[in-house]
Amino acid sequence: MFRGNAAHTGTYQGVAPREFHRVKWKFPTGARVVGSPVMQDKVIYFGSDDGNVYAVDAESGQQIWKTATRGPVPCTPAIDHGMVYVGSYDGKFYALDARSGAVKWKFATEGERRFEAKGIHGWQPKTQTFADAFDVFLSSPAVVDGAVYFGSGDGNLYSLDSNSGELRWKFKTRDVVHASPAVVNAVAFFGSWDSYFYAVDVGNGKERWRYHAGEDPLIHNQVGFQSSPAVVDGVVYTVCDAKLYALDATTGKERWKFDNALSRVITSPAVVDGKVYFATSDSSLYHVVEAATGKPILKQEDKAYMFSSPAVTNDVVFIGVLNGTLEARDRNSGKLLWEFQTETSKQNANWVLTADRRFNFPLLFFDGWREGPVVSADRQFAIGAIFSSPLVANGVVYFGSTDGFLYALE
């Protein structure tokens, strides 16, 4: 499932490539791939914005099956007991047979939508309501003890029976829930665009506690939980309003917070061996901080925004960048070991990138009025950007790109 396990720690076991050797294969879909792949029994499962869920042989990259939904699938599937669980922008949640792709059951939510606000990100006119072009992910499900948990644009966190699809309970928030829930010790932890973070009892769907983060009533930029939490050793690590928070998992009390100086953070933190790994969007920074205190350990400047979440292995950290680059960094020093650039990024249509692969702001963000911001976002997404969080398995790195391909690198 998303981030490797129900606690969303973002850690992966086994060998990881410290040098780039080749593209093992790349698999084409009909639209961008922003969700992340998962693997079970040497099969890769993932969704695409072309509306399909795919099963691909991990060794050869050959399609095993695909199943169509009626909307984009920008989330990460969960695999459990021979079933693939995944949501779609068609407002349905699907359980598919892992071997054939056949629909076992589907559940209708109250409907999907993106977060929206008046004058969001400073777009004009400020009285116009815009859907957030950067709300790119759907909530990825977690499956634990016969139940599947996921959020929805209708503002609910759902719990369904994983075998039948019957509703167990739903928990209502005041806005879109596209963060993915972590489930640990019979509690579901998740955030909402209403700027509250929630802990909910998985047995009855009742609130244990909630934590209120910052608001941004002017341009609605530093608002809402978009990233997903990691839960380790009784602490919840999560991001909102340009801050990384450490909250007590039992009480919700804040232990510490790390200020990212007004830069949005979309990545979900990875936590291992007393360290928290994450990256920022606006300021394009790669961070490592102490898990116990939030004290900075490492900060590296990157070239472009990062929405992809870091995948931490024994000695390498992998993360995608919106300039179309996958990076491999030394886990201890943060040194860039190697990078891979998609062909679409190299082609650099509309001169979105400068020569050193930074965003070309004068050309990219040319107008804040009417369709200008939407055109800018579309150009930014169209250069082979990597929103997808890497999966590392058996010495191979798997990830998707907005160029429509799923990649396998070794």
Q: What is the mean pLDDT of residues 218-247?
A: 92
Q: What is the mean pLDDT of residues 368-381?
A: 89
Is this model's pTM higher than 0.85 or not? yes
The structure tokens listed for 366 are 């040319």
> What topology does CATH give the domain 15-36+308-410?
Thrombin, subunit H (2.40.10)
- pLDDT range class, residue 363, cuts 50, 70, 90: confident
pLDDT in tens, 193-212: 999 999 999 999 999 999 99
Q: How does DSSP assign 114-139, residue by residue?
A: --EEETGGG-BSTTSEEE-TT--PPP
Q: What is the mean pLDDT of residues 384-393?
A: 97
Asked which of 58-62, 139-143, 298-302, 366-370 is least confident by mean pLDDT, the reply is 366-370
Angle at 188 between CA 185 and CA 190, to 5 degrees: 140
Determine the pLDDT at residue 251: 98
CB atoms near residue 44 (< 10 Å) = 24
Determine the pLDDT at residue 14: 84
The chain-wide mean pLDDT, for the chain, equals 96
Determine the pLDDT at residue 84: 98
Determine the pLDDT at residue 74: 98
Taking alpha carbons only, the member of 121, 124, 154 closest to residue 139 is: 154
If one compares 223 and 403, the residue with the highest pLDDT of the two is 403
Q: What is the mean pLDDT of residues 319-345?
A: 97
Asked which of 162-166, 174-178, 325-329, 361-365 is least confident by mean pLDDT, the reply is 361-365
Determine the pLDDT at residue 364: 85
- pLDDT range class, residue 169, cuts 50, 70, 90: very high
Determine the pLDDT at residue 182: 97
CB atoms near residue 378 (< 10 Å) = 12
Q: What is the mean pLDDT of residues 124-147?
A: 95
Residue 73 has pLDDT above 90, yes or no: yes
- pLDDT range class, residue 49, cuts 50, 70, 90: very high
Residue 15 has pLDDT above 90, yes or no: no
Residue 176 has pLDDT above 90, yes or no: yes
Sequence-ordered list of residues with C-beta below 8 angstroms from that of 361, at least 6 positions apart, any chain:
none
pLDDT in tens, 300-327: 999 999 999 999 999 999 999 999 999 9
Sequence-ordered list of residues with C-beta below 8 angstroms from that of 180, at least 6 positions apart, any chain:
2, 3, 8, 75, 76, 139, 140, 141, 142, 150, 151, 190, 228, 268
- pLDDT range class, residue 219, cuts 50, 70, 90: confident
Residue 215 has pLDDT above 90, yes or no: no
> Left if phi > 0, otherwise alpha if psi is -120 to 50, otherwise beta: which for 56?
beta
- pLDDT range class, residue 231, cuts 50, 70, 90: very high
Determine the pLDDT at residue 114: 97
Taking alpha carbons only, the member of 249, 251, 259 closest to residue 285 is: 259
Residue 222 has pLDDT above 80, yes or no: no
Q: In the chain, what are the domain boundaries? A: 15-36+308-410
Element (H, E) at 251: none
CA-to-CA dists, residue 323 to 14, 216, 346, angstroms: 28, 27, 9
Q: How many residues would you count in the chain? A: 410
- pLDDT range class, residue 263, cuts 50, 70, 90: confident
- pLDDT range class, residue 334, cuts 50, 70, 90: very high
- pLDDT range class, residue 161, cuts 50, 70, 90: very high
